[in-house]
A = this chain, B = another copy of it.
Amino acid sequence: MLAFLGGTGPEGKGLALRLALAGENVVIGSRDAQRAGAAAEELAAIIQDSAGHGSIDGADNVDAAQRSDAAFLTVPYEAQRPMLEQLGAPLSGKVVVNVIAPMRFERGKGAIAVPVDAGSAAEEAQSLLPDSHVVAAFQNVSAEELQEPHHNMVGDVVICADDPDAKSLVMTLTQKIPDLRPVDGGGLLNAKYVEQITPLLVNINRIYKAHSGIRITGV
């Protein structure tokens, strides 16, 4: 069971949809169980239309974390710390995939990376969840395109983690989404470089009126 904590936003819904379509059982988490239930119902209808195999369900974040084998963090950065302070026990021993790119918008400047004392949102999550195995991934993948179930994704998912088994699990999950490719991005120390690609892509999207992503050439 994969949980998408704070999964009612576009990135969470998009990833949950794609992995449920690939046959994974999914639970959408939210502070508000009812909102999570509504998002799950919405996705379940798309999955049924597309003859997907995975189950999908909604719950509050604590319950979703408890039920999961691995959990994706798909809240805005500001919500990461308050959410994770409640989830140390239910996420203990589990793989936690941090999709968060700390970012804000400023008039005339566009998207700007928010500095993080720990280095990256992923490293901060690891310090808040010392008993979990944090993996940074999927920050650069277009939420809009994930939400279109028949759109083949183009691009790479750079995956950073200190725990090799956790990294390997997320590389396998990435390959279930056509045609995303996992790229080993080394340790969690590299997560900040990947997180900061997101504001760059957001600004490029505005220039080109596109949904951009990245590919690592030569590997």
Residues of A within 8 A of B (CB): 109-110, 112-113, 142, 154-155, 158, 183-187, 189-190, 192-194, 196-197, 199-201, 203-204, 206-208, 210-219
Among all A-B residue pairs, the 3 with the closest Cβ atoms:
A193-B200, A213-B217, A212-B218
Min C-beta distance of A110 to chain B, whole Å? 7
Minimum distance in angstroms from A65 CB to a CB of chain B: 30
Partner of A112 from B189, B194, B206, B219 at Cβ < 8 Å: B189
Q: Is the CB of A214 within 8 A of B214?
A: yes
Set of chain B residues within 8 Å of A217, measured between Cβ atoms = 154-155, 212-215
Interface of A, helix, strand, loop or mixed by DSSP: mixed
With contacts A193-B196, A218-B142 taken as known, whether A185 is within 8 angstroms of B212 at the C-beta atoms is: no
Q: Is the CB of A203 within 8 A of B185?
A: yes
- Asked if B203 and A190 sit within 8 Å, CB to CB, the answer is yes
Judge whether B207 and A184 touch: CB under 8 Å: yes
Q: Could you tell me if B193 and A199 are in contact, using CB atoms closer than 8 angstroms?
A: yes
* Given A214-B215, A217-B155, A219-B210, also A204-B185 (CB < 8 A): yes
User: Given that A213-B218, A219-B212 are known contacts, is A193 also in contact with B155, CB under 8 Å in the complex?
Assistant: no
A208 touches B203 (CB 8 A): no
With a CB–CB cut-off of 8 A, which chain B residues contact A210?
218-219
B109 and A189 form a contact (CB under 8 A): yes
How distant is the Cα of A215 from the Cα of B212 in the complex, in angstroms? 10
Which of B154, B187, B199, B216 contacts A214 (CB under 8 A)?
B216
Bound CA span A170–B142, Å: 28
Q: How far is the CA of A219 from the CA of B206 in the complex (A)?
A: 11
Verify B216–A212 contact, CB threshold 8 A: yes
20 cross-chain CB contacts under 8 A:
A109-B187, A110-B186, A112-B189, A113-B192, A113-B193, A154-B217, A154-B218, A155-B218, A183-B204, A184-B204, A184-B207, A190-B199, A193-B196, A193-B199, A196-B196, A208-B219, A211-B218, A213-B217, A213-B218, A215-B216
